[in-house]
């Protein structure tokens, strides 16, 4: 049994990218390993949300986590800011993280480009906070999507530096995980890149989107001007639709449309209709559970109180040992 940690930022509803990149793994791993799954509300602060939106976002992620299949009896489910040990370990880890490597981090460079008006130090040290989240439970496996790969590499650097400096093997190396296979990147509907909350209208399909909304978004998805000649290679936006189809549809369906594409007789309208209906079918039970769970405040409070308790216990143990290794006197 290994120790597993992962989190999702509380910046709004969960989308198919979160599901297939991360949550699908959470659901499977929770019964096989010691799992800690959390709502990353500290990380969400980099964008300065209003307190009421902030609270609502945390609640949304909690409800959607549970609706998607996280079992609070099987895993430890908590809110990041409920563990005071995380900011403390984050502060300590900052001493082993170099500004140069943080500045070179791809996600930081991207944030600078997109939001030149808000380049705060929290963004720069974002990977340090993430490493603290992971090693506070001494995790070895971290189920995440492809976009988090570099952050995991940085976490390993901090861990190795710490271990080396104190001549210890205290922290194990954490590794990104996806069923033991390649990490996943779920594309958005706008023709390129990945599905993401901040990528603009119509890019992401949220787990709570109503069928009509899903149909509208999928029908508006970018394709190309036509399949061209038989056997012609797929354009990127069309390949993206096939990628999504392969996540929610049966193999027969995917094969059918692939053949239509190969013969250059595919009608993108038909492909999109099928994709929309299969996404609706896939997300319907989650939507149903969201309605059920979100009405139950007592249950939600119970889950989070118990998860916080269990997670703090594990975190306190680690921090006590780390303080001793570093040489604090008490
Ligand atoms: P976040 O909130 O951006 O995304 C949560 C998880 O969903 C995955 N994901 C995707 N996977 C595949 N395709 C996509 N289009 C896609 N979009 C999102 C992400 O890879 C991630 O696994 N920094 C993290 C949250 C975090 C964390 C941690 C994760 C904080 N501390 C410690 C693991 C361990 C983040 O912003 O994820």
Q: 34-40 and 3-9 as β-strands: parallel, antiparallel, unpaired?
A: parallel
Nearest CA to ligand 1 atom 16: 17
Q: Quick one: 256 exposed, middle or buried, by C-beta within 10 A (0-12, 13-18, 19+)?
A: middle
**Is residue 269 left, alpha or beta, with left meaning phi > 0 and alpha meaning psi from -120 to 50?**
alpha
Range from 129-133, 234-238, 244-248 carrying the lowest mean pLDDT: 234-238
**Which pLDDT score, from 0 to 100, does residue 170 have?**
98
- Reduced to 3 states (helix: H, G, I; strand: E, B; else coil), residue 34 is strand
Give per-residue pLDDT as tens, 206-221.
Answer: 999 999 999 999 999 9
Q: Is residue 122 within 8 Å of residue 46, measured between CB atoms?
A: yes
pLDDT for 178 beyond 70: yes
Active site residue 194: yes
Cα 36 from Cα 75, distance rounded (Å)? 6
Q: How confident is the model at residue 53 (pLDDT cuts 50, 70, 90)?
A: very high
Choosing from 7, 10, 106 the residue with most ligand 1 atoms within 8 A of its CB, the one to mutate for a pocket test is 7
Q: Is 40 in the pocket of ligand 1 (CB under 6 A)?
A: yes
Q: Helical H runs in the chain?
A: 16-18, 24-29, 41-44, 51-68, 85-93, 99-104, 106-114, 121-124, 126-135, 149-165, 211-219, 236-248, 251-262, 268-294, 297-326
Q: Distance between CA atoms of 249 and 105, rounded to whole angstroms?
A: 36
In this structure, are residues 223 and 257 in contact, taking their beta carbons and an 8 Å threshold? no
Closest C-alpha to 29, from 144, 138, 171: 144
Distance 196 CA to ligand 1 centre (A): 10
Mean pLDDT of 112-132: 96
Class at the top of the CATH hierarchy for domain 3-184+297-326: alpha beta
Read off φ and ψ for residue 142, nearest 5 degrees: -130, 100
Residue 198 has pLDDT above 80, yes or no: no
Q: How confident is the model at residue 122, as a pLDDT?
A: 96
**Predicted pLDDT at 197:** 84
Average pLDDT over residues 52-69: 97
Tell me, rounded to whole angstroms, the distance of Cα 50 from its chain centroid: 22
Q: Is residue 197 among the annotated active site residues?
A: yes
Bridge partners (DSSP) listed for residue 36: 5, 76
Q: What is the pLDDT of residue 329?
A: 85
User: 192 pLDDT band (50/70/90 cuts)?
Assistant: low
Mean pLDDT confidence for 11-40: 97
The predicted pLDDT at position 200 comes to: 75
Tokens 């999507």 locate to 145
Instruction: Write down the mean pLDDT value for the chain.
Output: 96
Distance 266 CA to ligand 1 centre (A): 34
Q: Which residues pair with 74 in a beta bridge?
A: none
User: Catalytic site residue 111?
Assistant: yes
Asked if pLDDT for residue 35 goes beyond 70, the answer is: yes
Domain boundaries, the chain: 3-184+297-326, 197-291
For position 231, what pLDDT does the model report?
A: 85
Identify the band that residue 228 occupies on the pLDDT scale cut at 50, 70 and 90: confident
Neighbouring-strand partners of residue 253: none
Query: What's the topology of domain 197-291?
Result: Tyrosyl-Transfer RNA Synthetase (1.10.240)
**Token output for 33:** 């390993």
Closest CA to 16 of 205, 222, 285: 205
Q: How many A from CA of 230 to the centre of ligand 1? A: 38
């Amino acid at each position: 049994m290994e120790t597993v940690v992962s989190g999702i930022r509380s910046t709004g509803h969960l989308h198919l990218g979160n599901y297939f990149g991360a949550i699908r793994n959470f659901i499977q791993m929770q019964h096989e390993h010691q799992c800690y799954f959390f709502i990353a509300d500290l990380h969400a602060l980099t964008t300065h949300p209003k307190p009421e939106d902030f609270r609502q976002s945390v609640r949304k992620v909690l409800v959607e986590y549970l609706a998607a299949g996280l079992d609070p009896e099987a895993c430890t489910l908590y809110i990041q800011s409920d563990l005071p040990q995380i900011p403390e370990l984050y502060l300590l880890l900052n001493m082993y993280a170099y500004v140069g490597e943080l500045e070179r981090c791809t996600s930081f460079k991207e944030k600078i480009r997109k939001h030149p008006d808000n380049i705060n130090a929290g963004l720069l040290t974002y990977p340090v906070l993430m490493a603290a989240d992971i090693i506070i439970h001494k995790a070895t496996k971290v189920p995440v999507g492809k976009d988090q790969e570099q952050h995991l590499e940085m976490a390993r650097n901090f861990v190795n530096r710490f271990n080396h400096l104190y001549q210890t093997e205290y922290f194990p190396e954490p590794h990104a995980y996806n069923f033991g296979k390649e990490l996943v990147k779920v594309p958005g509907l706008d023709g390129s890149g990945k599905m993401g909350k901040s990528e603009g209208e119509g890019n992401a399909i949220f787990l709570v989107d109503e069928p009509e909304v899903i149909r509208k978004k999928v029908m508006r998805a970018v394709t190309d001007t036509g399949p061209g000649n038989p056997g012609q290679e797929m354009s990127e936006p069309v390949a993206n639709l096939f990628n999504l189809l392969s996540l929610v549809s049966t193999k027969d369906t995917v094969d059918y449309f692939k053949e239509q594409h190969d013969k250059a007789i595919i009608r993108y309208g038909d492909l999109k209709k099928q994709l929309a209906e299969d996404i609706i079918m896939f997300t319907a039970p989650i939507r149903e559970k969201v309605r059920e769970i979100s009405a139950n405040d007592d249950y939600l409070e119970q889950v989070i109180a118990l998860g916080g308790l269990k997670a703090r216990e594990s975190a306190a143990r680690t921090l006590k040992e780390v303080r001793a290794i570093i040489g604090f006197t008490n």
